[in-house]
Structure 1
Amino acid sequence: MIERIDTGARMSRIVKHNGTAYLCGQVGEGATVTEQTQDCLARIDALLERAGSSRGKILQAIVWLSDMADFAEMNAVWDAWVPEGEAPARACGEARLARDTLKVEIIVTAAC
């Protein structure tokens, strides 16, 4: 069974299937990479809770940065957020994001 949460015409915020939650890409508010990453991860926490999961159950994360020069700044926030010993498989790349003000977008898949 597939469960879709907060479904609109274009996408669902969460899709659950066979004990796995797939979150839509999350971005955050703020002027800096640190602020945007913190807000983005707080939004991910909230969605994971709605899906019956948590950050310790993340299987995979895909991080998009608008500029790879921000890699270390984003990682400082990420490393403090991920539970010790429970780091997911992760990829990080540079991409042009949906708005010029966005610096980071994170996509997460987690066990429920």
Structure 2
Amino acid sequence: MAIQRLHIETRYSEAAIHNGTVYLAGQLADDLTGDIRQQTRETLANIDRMLAEAGSDKSRILSATIYLKDIATHYDGLNAEWDAWVAAGNAPPRACVEARLYKPEVLVEICIIAAAN
């Protein structure tokens, strides 16, 4: 079965679709000057957009990995936005860890694996 890749860059693709599964690259906010809640909202909006383009949606998420710059400072703000966004009755398994991200202004990055529709 073929692998379909979306938004291919030199080092990565934004998404890969294979055998009914969608794999998203780590998604970020577009505006990195905002606080954790703003960055989380934008990141989740980008996830919605990429999942739709790949033929899926947030109700079909199989797994989420969340990377936070500072888990003690940002965990509550992340969860406030996540809880408002996640599809009711479809909260996926997830991991949330603290990590040094690629730029100091990045507060959150989220990787998603989802079933295609």
In the superposition, the TM-score normalised over structure 1's length comes to: 0.97
CA RMSD of aligned residues (A): 0.7
Determine whether 1:48 maps to 2:65: no
- Within the candidate set 72, 77, 80, 2:81 is matched to 77
Determine whether 1:60 maps to 2:56: no
Q: How many residues are treated as equivalent by the alignment?
A: 112
Query: How do residues 1-112 of structure 1 correspond to structure 2 at under 5 angstroms?
Result: 1-28=2-29, 29=31, 30-69=33-72, 70-112=74-116
SS at match of 1:74: helix
Gaps of 5+ in 2: none
SS at match of 2:106: coil
Tell me how far apart the structure 2 counterparts of residues 12 and 110 of structure 1 sit (CA, whole Å).
16
1:8 is displaced (CA, Å) by 1.5
Gaps of 5+ in 1: none
Question: Which amino acid letter does the alignment assign opposite residue 64 of structure 1?
Answer: Y
Tell me how far apart the structure 2 counterparts of residues 9 and 83 of structure 1 sit (CA, whole Å).
33
Structure 1 residue ranges (4+ consecutive) displaced by more than 4 angstroms after TM superposition? none
Tell me how far apart the structure 2 counterparts of residues 83 and 8 of structure 1 sit (CA, whole Å).
30
In the superposition, the TM-score normalised over structure 2's length comes to: 0.93
Q: Could you list the per-position Cα deviations for residues 77-109 of structure 1 after superposition, in whole angstroms to 9, with x for gaps in the alignment?
A: 000000111011100000001110010000000
Question: Which amino acid letter does the alignment assign opposite residue 101 of structure 2?
Answer: L
Question: Which amino acid letter does the alignment assign opposite residue 114 of structure 2?
Answer: A
Give the share of equivalent positions with the same residue, in percent: 45
